[in-house]
Each structure stands twice: as C-alpha cells, then as structure tokens.
Structure 1
Amino acid sequence: MEISIIILCLILCAFFSGMEIAFISSNKIYLEIEKKQDNFLSRTLTKLTEKPSKFIAAMLIGNNIALVVYGFFMGEMLMNWIHSLPYHFSDLSNLFLQTVLSTLIVLITAEFLPKVFFQIYANTLIKFFAIPAYIFYLLFYFISTFFIWVSDFVLRKFFKTQGDQVQLYFSKVELGNYITEQMSTVEDHEEVDSEIQIFQNALEFSGVRARDVMTPRTEIAAIDLVDTIEGLKTIFITTGYSKIVVYQNSLDDILGYIHSFDLFKKPKTVSEIVIPVEFVPETIFIKDVLKLLTKKRKSVAVVLDEYGGTSGIITIEDIVEELFGEIEDEHDFDEELIEKVVQEGVYLFSTRLDVAYLNETYKLNIPESDSYGTLGGFIVDFTKEIPQKGANITIGIFHFSIEEATNKKIELVKMSIRE
C-alpha cells in the first residue's frame, strides 16, 4: 500500500511539474489556433489557459500536495528499511540518509526527466493531458484563487504594481518558431502558401545585410561619364535594364545612375541626366538601406567594401524581393542554377547557390562564414584566387572540380565528399 501511494505521488509530481513547464514552453500561437477548432478539446484548452497564473498556481499546489504525501510515506518506508539494516546509525545520520535518498528519487523521476520530456514535446503533451489538467485545475481552483489574490494584494500594496496581467500578444520568436514548424512539414514538391512565405521572409528581413542581396561588382552594367549617349542607348538595349550605373575612370568611383526614362529628355551628354546615389557599407542591414533610400527618395545605393571600393549595388527592387519574392518584368530572364546529385556523395552545383541553402537541403555541413555566402565565395575564400576550368581543389573533406569558369568567376563545380 505504501509503495503504491509513493508511486502514485511520483506520477502526480511528474505530471504537475511537466504540465507547468509545457505551458511555459508551448508556442502560444499554436495554442490559439488549437483553441479555434471548436471541439471539446479546444474548449478545454480555452478554459485552461484563459487565466495562466491560476493554471500555474493550480499545478504548483498539486505538486506540493503530492510532494508532502510522498515525503510522509517515503520517510516512513526508508526509516523501516534503515532500521532493518545490520548497521546502527545515529539519528542525524538516519535523517541525512533519508533526505538524500528521497530527494534523489523525486528529483530524477518527478522533476528533471518529466520537465525535459514535457519541454521538448510541449505543444503535443499540453493537448494530450489537457483534460486531466483541467480536472485538477477545477479541484484546486479556489485555493489557487486565494493565493493569487494574496500575491496581487502584496504586489499592489507594497510594490505599487498592477498585479497579475494576462499577456495578450505573441512574441516575434513564437511567430517565427510556429512558421518554421509549418515550413518543415512541407514536402519538397509542394508549393508553400505565399502568405506563409511572406511571413517567414518578414521575420528574417531584419537580419539580412546588404551584401546578401546586392548585385555583385562583376555583374554591374555601367557606363563611363565621358561615353556618348549612343553608347548609353546601346547598353540599355543589350542589357534590358531600366537603370545603368555611371562611373568616372573606374567602378570604384561611381557618380550615380541613369534611368531609361531620362533618355526621353533628349540629353546631349551622359552627365546631364545622372542621378546621385547613396553609399552604404556591406554590413548594413537592408531594413536600414530601405529607410535611407526612402528618406532620400533614391532607388539605388552603392555597396562599399571595407577598403572603400565598390562591392556591388543594391536597389529598392532587390530589397522588396526579399519580402515578396522575385519581381519579374519583361526584361528579366530566368537564370537556371544547377543543383544535381550525380551519385551518392557527388554533386553538380552552380556556384551562385547559397552555402546555407546547400547545407539545409543536402546536409553537407559546409563551413559558413561572414566572409562569403555562396559556394563560389567559399572556394575563392580558400584559394584566394579565381580557379580556372579543370582545376581541382580540396577543402577539408570537400573536393571540387571546376567544370565552368571565366577569368572573373567560377560558374559550375562538381563536388565530392571524401570522409
């Protein structure tokens, strides 16, 4: 009988402490969505979580009652066991041994393990145990109400605070975690709902830097200030761009840009229609670039490297695409980025692919760094030069064979993994 009561108390302690940590760790957005399902479980969750402080108090009260009962019966059982031993202990030693043994048992079985388990599976377990938790919530309702009233009185009277307040908002982290969970359940061949994708982009937006979305220096379409209008027209026609960068002597001395509409003004020289640009460092967040360009009523910014040279350019369109996806116009061409599994451990990749994307998609564990973002950048960062076609490069366990390259950049590589 004693053993049965002790086991029951340990189970109840594990349940109460587990539900407490599950409620704290659960995603509040997930719970709100579950509460909107209009079924018995959703109504139970609604009543259970409408006053969080009372729910936590009820779980704490239940946990303490179970611990007191456990301590009474466990102490008596341990004392009988200690007295049955052939050794004689003093009263102080008996008390110490009894305390250590009973504490270790309750900590391992009813505190540490349940809290770890309930924290990992918080969303699932709070639903699974919602009904028994609600029963105990009702059972201890008046006791928890009394203690909440006492704590609120102390807070208002002595600490001049408002007392217990119900949180009516969700944190950015909770929203991000919920969307990430939803995205992880989408199969590779399924299309992600556009609203969900925009939400995810918006949450990641504040952490994106200019160097992550800029058009790199090697791909900038530009014209010298001393070139002719005819030459400018030719560049507009051949590139299909609506904006062309204007420089003096070299791309490290960019003066501004020209919009194709300005050609209707029939200028005689390039300098007549140059629109000044803003200059920003590579490390600036794009949210700050957007704020700057909006304030200055500009649409193009030049991204500078640490030495003051031109690293690339960034436009309003580049920033908006980070939120809403690619914005296509009649001059945009689809650039096919090759990613192909040749055989197990051997891949064919375009070097424009992001290292983070490849690691997430193919589980490659390629080292990531602020010094580069793409696979081509990873290789160049290691070699400190532009490898030519046919070159073979080994970086750690990764072996690269350069399949296509120009004197300015690597285009295509075959990558194999050597353990």
Structure 2
Amino acid sequence: MEISIIFICLLLSAFFSGMEIAFVSSNKVYLGIEKMQDGFVAKILTKITQNPSKFIASMLVGNNIALVIYGFTMGDLIIKLIFPEFINNDDLPFQVLMIQTLLSTAVILITAEFLPKVFFQIYANTFVKIFAIPAYFFYQLLYYISSFVIWISDFFLRKLFKTEGDEAQLFFSKVELGNFISEQMNAVDDHETVDSEIQIFQNALEFSGVKARDIMIPRTEISAVEIHDSVKELKSLFIETGFSKILVYQSSLDDIIGYVHSFELFRKPRTIKSVMIPVEFVPETMFIKDVMNLLTKKRKSVAIVLDEYGGTSGMITIEDIVEELFGEIEDEHDSDETLIEEQLGEKEFRFSTRLDVEYINEVYKLNIPEEDSYSTLGGFIVNHAKEIPQKGEVIEINNFQFIIEEASTKKIEQVKMIIDYSD
C-alpha cells in the first residue's frame, strides 16, 4: 500500500512539475495555431491558456500536495525497511532523520523533478498537447485553491510593492515566432517546397537586420548616362538594358545626381536634365527598413548607396527591398543568368563569387568567417588577398583553398573551393 502511494505521488509530482515547465517553455505561436483547430483538445488548450497564472498555480499546488503525501509515506517506509527498531518511536535520532531526508530527496529529485523537467522542456509543444486533458482535470479540481493563492499574492503585490496584480500575457514574442518558423523550415525535407507564407514570415523576421549593402546593385553593374549626353543615347541605353530607370551622373559615377524613368521618354524631352528625377543618398550601413521608410516618405523609388568615403557603392530600389520580403520578382526584362553553386564532392564546391557568405554558410554549413567589411564570397577572398586574384591563381585562407576559375581585371567571377579539415 505504501509503495503504491509513493509511486502515485511520484507520478503526479512528475506530471505537475513537467507540465509547469512545458507550459512555460512551449511556443505561444504553436499553441495559438493548435487552439484554432477543430476538436476537443483545441477547446481544452483554449481553456487552460486563458489564464496562464492560474494554470501554473494549479500545477504548483498539485505538485506540493503530492510532495507532502510522498514525504510522510516515504519517511515511514524508510523506517520500516532500514530502521525497524524505531517503528512507533516519535523521537528519532538526528542520523535517522538525515538519512530519511537524503533518500527521500534523492528519489524525488531524480524521478519527479530533474528527468521530467528535462523531457517536458525539450518536447514542450508535444507534451502540452498530449497531456492537455489530464492537466485540465487537475486545473478544475484545484481551481479554488489556486485562485485563493493568486488572490493572496496579488494582495501582497498591491499592498507591499504598490504594483498591479499578475496579468496574463496573451501575446507571443518575435523570438517565439522566429523559433516556430525555424522549426517549420527544419521540418521540410530537401525535396519539398517551403510554403510561401512560411518563407515570407522568415524573411520578415530577418528584414529588420538587413543593411543596404546586403541587397544593393553593386557599382560595377550600374547603367548610367552623363547629364550632357543626348536623349538619343539615353533611349538606346533603355533599349539595350531593358531597365525602367537609368541613373544620371555628372563627371563620374561618384557624382550621381538623379535618374530618368522610361515613361518620361513619351514626353519627347529635349534634354536629359528636363526629365531627371533627384535621387536619395543612403550609407551602406543603413537598414533597409529605414531606406524603405525614407523612399516612401520622399515618394522616390531609387536610392544611391554611399561608401565610407562618400563615393558611389551601389544603388537600391523599392523593388529590391520588396524582393527581400517576397522573393525574386521577375519580369520579361530580367536576365536568365543564375549564380552557380555546385557541390562537386564532400569537400569540393564551385561557387559564383556574388553569392553571400551568410547564404553559403547557412546552406552548406561551411563556417566561412563573416565580417562587416564584406558580404559576398568574392569580397571575402579579396579582403584577405588584398588584391584581385586572376584566373588560375590559388588562394588559401585558413582551411579554405580557392582556385580562381573566372576573373577579370575588376572582379572575381567564379571559384572552385576545396576544404582542408586537417588543421
């Protein structure tokens, strides 16, 4: 009988302590989605999450009741099994009391505290859903006791600390949303396509940390005309590139003064200056959310990205910013050129140097160092080589070996990457 009571108390204590930590650790986004489903469990989840403080208080009260009963029963059992000479003796020696305490505590810590909390925390979302019904039963059974406990705590909070009573937090945080989306992304197999909604959410969470230099069109790819060029030359450049906007500079690309929209050609302008629209200037380190706010406020669609010396580093458009959220938006004038990324072997890769280092690390788990001084693979190589390597050269950086396969006098185009883990 005593063993049965101890076993039940340990089981209940494990349940209460586990549900407490699972409820606190569970993802609020996941619970919110589960509560929106049809079914009995969804209704139960809705009820136990309406007042989180009262639910946790119920679990704590239940755990304490189970521990008290366990303590009395376990103490008597230890006396019977180890110290039978002290049965019915109310005056126990100190050594016996210490052994009772140590044995009882060791059992309860391992079986009803440590192990349950570890498992319930790791699989918090799953266990909250699985044990929602028994948890609701105890929640209702201990409702008035937990309500009384919360009333006392609120009373002391108001009287002694001059604060409002405990309030339920019904909102989830950005971190919880990010964790939920990461779980969904990790659950997708390589051959499956990620839902567009999940991808947009992930892009939105990363949006606030993206800077202008991360998505800008680099200086070397800018198409522009000089302010004194003829309208005929401007028209030819529009036809050649297929762009809807062409930048206008004075003397050099470091002195860009505006841009022209292809629509303006329908007005049959005499000079480029007569249809030129001023541009906005932003530093490389400016977050794109701030760039978007600036362009929206000024009702512009193009911003010139400046480097630390005030020279032109690149350009950024509203379309570039929108694509960062919703993915690539291709039209009939977009080229079919794709960036190369091939895994040739376990330690060999072929990459276009325009690929972001952050992207390569995320997809291929290569741990290439990331710094503010560069964002692309080409920038990483040039930053360490201190020059622009030419075709056929071999560059070794840490445990990475780069064989330059395509390059010009201005930039690296394509490299073969070999990893040496021997270091």
Question: TM-score, normalization: structure 2?
Answer: 0.89
Correspondence for 2:213: 211
Q: CA deviation at 1:148?
A: 2.4
Question: Whole-Å Cα distance in 2 between the matches of residues 81 and 220 of structure 1?
Answer: 86
Structure 2 counterpart of 1:206, which letter? Answer: S
C-alpha contact (below 8 Å) 1:82/1:94 kept by paired residues: no
Correspondence for 1:59: 59
**Bigger mean CA offset, 104-113 vs 10-19:** 104-113
Q: CA deviation at 1:367?
A: 2.1
Question: Whole-Å Cα distance in 2 between the matches of residues 410 and 234 of structure 1?
Answer: 29
C-alpha contact (below 8 Å) 1:48/1:55 kept by paired residues: yes
Structure 1 counterpart of 2:420, which letter? Answer: R
Q: CA deviation at 1:83?
A: 6.1
For 1:291-310, what per-residue CA distance to the aligned partner results, in whole angstroms no more than 9, with x for missing partners?
Answer: 11111122111111222222
Which of 355, 358, 364 is the aligned partner of 2:357? 355
Structure 2 counterpart of 1:55, which letter? Answer: F
C-alpha contact (below 8 Å) 1:236/1:244 kept by paired residues: yes
Question: Whole-Å Cα distance in 2 between the matches of residues 77 and 274 of structure 1?
Answer: 92
**Bigger mean CA offset, 397-406 vs 369-378:** 369-378
Superposition map of 1:228-267 within 5 A = 228-267=230-269
For 1:332-386, what per-residue CA distance to the aligned partner results, in whole angstroms no more than 9, with x for missing partners?
Answer: 1122112222222222222222222222222222222222222222222221222
| Secondary structure of residue in 1 paired with 2:202 | helix
Question: Whole-Å Cα distance in 2 between the matches of residues 3 and 352 of structure 1?
Answer: 69
Correspondence for 1:291: 293
Name stretches of at least 5 consecutive residues in structure 1 with no aligned partner: 85-89
Question: Whole-Å Cα distance in 1 between the matches of residues 396 and 120 of structure 2?
Answer: 45
For 1:283-324, what per-residue CA distance to the aligned partner results, in whole angstroms no more than 9, with x for missing partners?
Answer: 111111111111112211111122222211111111111122
Structure 2 counterpart of 1:30, which letter? Answer: Y
For 1:251-273, what per-residue CA distance to the aligned partner results, in whole angstroms no more than 9, with x for missing partners?
Answer: 22222222222233433333333
Q: Sort the Cα spacing of 1:270 and 1:134 in 2 relative to 1 into closer, same or farther, 3 A.
A: same
Q: CA deviation at 1:185?
A: 2.1
Alignment pair present for 1:69 and 2:99: no
For 1:74-97, what per-residue CA distance to the aligned partner results, in whole angstroms no more than 9, with x for missing partners?
Answer: 44556678869xxxxx95666556
Question: Whole-Å Cα distance in 2 between the matches of residues 3 and 178 of structure 1?
Answer: 42
For 1:141-163, what per-residue CA distance to the aligned partner results, in whole angstroms no more than 9, with x for missing partners?
Answer: 22112222333444455556553
Q: CA deviation at 1:211?
A: 0.9
Question: Whole-Å Cα distance in 1 between the matches of residues 381 and 7 of structure 2?
Answer: 60
Question: Whole-Å Cα distance in 2 between the matches of residues 16 and 373 of structure 1?
Answer: 49
| Secondary structure of residue in 1 paired with 2:253 | strand
Question: Whole-Å Cα distance in 2 between the matches of residues 342 and 219 of structure 1?
Answer: 29
Structure 2 counterpart of 1:322, which letter? Answer: E
Question: TM-score, normalization: structure 1?
Answer: 0.89
Structure 1 counterpart of 2:215, which letter? Answer: V
Q: CA deviation at 1:4?
A: 5.0
Superposition map of 1:169-208 within 5 A = 169-208=171-210
Name stretches of at least 5 consecutive residues in structure 2 with no aligned partner: 85-91
- Report the count of equivalent residues: 415
Superposition map of 1:71-86 within 5 A = 71-76=71-76
Correspondence for 2:38: 38
| Secondary structure of residue in 1 paired with 2:335 | coil
For 1:95-124, what per-residue CA distance to the aligned partner results, in whole angstroms no more than 9, with x for missing partners?
Answer: 556545544543344333322321221101
Correspondence for 2:9: 9
Structure 1 counterpart of 2:115, which letter? Answer: L
CA-atom RMSD in angstroms:
2.7
Structure 2 counterpart of 1:72, which letter? Answer: F
